[in-house]
A and B are shown apart, each in its own frame.
Chain A
């Protein structure tokens, strides 16, 4: 058997290690998508009239839109009428502390290696957990409250801080931005909200774990993060879903607003169910993430994407203010039959704006990884700078990797650099590691983590460790 054959054989033996279902009572509404469903969601969430109107407007426009087909991925379009748009664990009463959380749920987090107690105690991370659309535990809220920082579920923010939500929701990702953003605007059920007041440096990493649990429910969360003038926040988002046979749709919207001199660091580790070894099942991850930078503000996106059957995601920055900075650091792993079309858009509007793009793609098995990026320099963006580096690492000879860099320049003073490399993990490298006593799986982990170092270095410490493990785990057995 050749080395390549072995690779293929090994690849198909790697199972998803987070595939289990938490058995919790859920309150799920009937499948289907229509105005009544939207009214029901809005009513269940006790929302103000303006928001219901906003949702309905989004829905009416959504109905006239068609699903985009330009991405380099193929899949059966999900039947939007066969999804239940609202699923919430039935609360026995309002939860005040972790002790009151369903023990089944806590067990789930333990399996994920996310012990809340441990996290709280050791790292001081405030965690807002979204399980099937409703936040069940929010911690450290008081401590943050003293600084005037608001960190809560978006539903709570709608009730308690409607003026902020109303002002900013849809301001960066308009409700009709694209097909899935419009769908999200119509039916979003929960998500996170964060506001950092002027001149405040958030003293801890804010962290949210998302998880899709109920069979046949799509998760449509909405995240809104506002960093007021001169403030700083680092926000972590981690995602894991259990194994399911049918595809689950995840269409989230994330909006970041960095006002003058503010800085937002947004890190994601995405490990949703990628489907089984034959390519059956898995999460469809169609996400719209965008941030706007005002004067001298900075937004930095870091993502480690190892999961989902199909990923369609372009965290972007609108560099509106002069001297603002946008960054995008990405590791995207595809294995078995996974497909990813991911990258970023950097829109330079203001003067002296700078952007950096570092993208590391890793493809194994029969998967297909694509980098798609746009660097756009508008007319008024004097002295704009961009540096892009797109690297691909291939494992085996049945996977694919493609790069689609788009560059549009409307100002002569712009300076743009683009570097790209493609490489393979060599047998020489593996043998070298083996000879030093390092087994093949560990060696792949070591080599891949080395390859991704520039991106992993951007992650906060405890997240970086998790991401490293995840990378090794996703590629375990992918070379014979």
Chain B
């Protein structure tokens, strides 16, 4: 599904990713872990197509297509979704209006008519329940005055509405209390199936207690330096990254 080869990325002259390789298949959950500044959020932003980053080498293929020259919205239309670490406020635009526009713009890109209002409302109600969200939520301005937990739940709500093929969760667990973490993880687990894939970017083991990864990758100094199963995450939680750093020096 996702094939990243020798990806090198700079921002304002600073090399962030230095020849990163990663492959993900349908039905898989991959966790990307690593110390601060390793390039985790850069990776997610570059896959989603953020323009401030300069790609200096390598390729990204999604379902066999080279997506490097595609605009962010085109990548979204292919089914790439990014749950933001810091979701942005848009005053005056309700959650309902925003998600309706997002869904219908994606449908337009594939020559589909707008989703009938009845279907849209039903889907919204279902996903609202899944994420245990209050009804009043839908008419609030998107992310404006939301608590940290509400913002993240709203991200996963949007993911549920958009049915992406690849969902990238960028530090979705940060700023969540235990209950919110459980709700969000439960939501992701319900949405996971054999035809989609999830990339979880995180510092901590705790989200991985709820969403069990098939692969855990350690991103260090712009490269993936170690790949293992869920036990690798447990070891990192226990021992930190020093042993990885030691290994790299040798």
Contacts and interface: CB of A to CB of B under 8 A. Distances in A.
Interface of A: 3, 426-429, 431-440, 442, 446-447, 449-454
B90 A435 contact: no
A442 to B, nearest CB: 6
Interface string B75-111: 0110001101001101111000110011101100100
Contacts of A450: 90-93, 97, 141
Given A442-B105, A446-B98, A446-B101, A435 B92 contact: no
Contacts of B88: 426, 428-429, 432
Contacts of B105: 436-439, 442
B50 A431 contact: yes
B72 interface: yes
B73 to A, nearest CB: 5
Contacts of B141: 450
B72 A431 contact: yes
A454 B92 CA distance: 8
Contacts of B51: 3, 431
A437 B90 contact: no
Contact of B87 (A3, A432, A438, A446): A432
Contacts of B52: 427
A74 to B, nearest CB: 33
A436 B92 contact: no
Contact of A439 (B49, B73, B90, B97): B73
A3 B51 CA distance: 10
18 contacts: A427-B52, A429-B90, A431-B72, A432-B90, A434-B49, A435-B48, A435-B72, A436-B102, A437-B73, A437-B106, A438-B101, A439-B71, A439-B105, A440-B73, A442-B101, A446-B93, A446-B97, A446-B98
Contacts of B212: none
B162 interface: yes
Q: Which of A431, A436, A450, A453 has the most CB of B within 10 A?
A: A436
B238 to A, nearest CB: 35
A3 B52 CA distance: 9
B162 A437 contact: yes
A437 B76 contact: yes
B98 A437 contact: no
Nearest to A456: B92
B8 interface: no
Interface of A, secondary structure class, is helix
B202 interface: no
Contact of B158 (A436, A446, A447): A436
Contact of B72 (A3, A434, A442): A434
A446 B93 CA distance: 7
Contacts of A434: 49, 71-73, 76
Contacts of B77: 437
A40 to B, nearest CB: 51
Interface of B: 48-52, 71-73, 76-77, 81-82, 84, 87-88, 90-93, 97-98, 101-103, 105-106, 109, 141, 158, 162
A446 B84 CA distance: 19
Contacts of B103: 437
Contacts of A452: 92
Contacts of B92: 449-454
Contacts of A427: 52
> Which one of B76, B82, B92, B109 has the highest number of Cβ atoms from chain A below 10 Å of its Cβ?
B92
A459 to B, nearest CB: 15
Nearest to B77: A437
Contacts of B72: 431, 434-435
Contacts of A447: 90, 93
Nearest to A445: B101
Nearest to A431: B50
Nearest to A6: B51
A363 to B, nearest CB: 18
A431 B170 CA distance: 15
B163 to A, nearest CB: 12
B20 to A, nearest CB: 20
Contacts of A433: 90, 102
Given A426-B88, A433-B90, 7 more contacts: A429-B90, A432-B88, A438-B101, A438-B105, A447-B90, A449-B93, A450-B91
B155 to A, nearest CB: 10
B25 to A, nearest CB: 23
Contacts of B98: 436, 446
A201 B115 CA distance: 39
Nearest to B144: A450
A428 B89 CA distance: 9
B232 to A, nearest CB: 29
A312 B23 CA distance: 61
Of residues B50, B73, B162, which shows the largest number of chain A Cβ atoms within 10 Å of its Cβ?
A: B73
B89 to A, nearest CB: 8
Given A437-B105, A438-B101, A446 B49 contact: no
Contacts of B50: 431
Contacts of B97: 446, 450
Nearest to B86: A428
Return the 8 tightest CB-CB contacts between A and B, nearest first: A450-B92, A450-B93, A434-B72, A453-B92, A437-B76, A436-B102, A437-B106, A432-B88
B46 to A, nearest CB: 12
A146 B233 CA distance: 80
A450 B102 CA distance: 15
A337 to B, nearest CB: 28
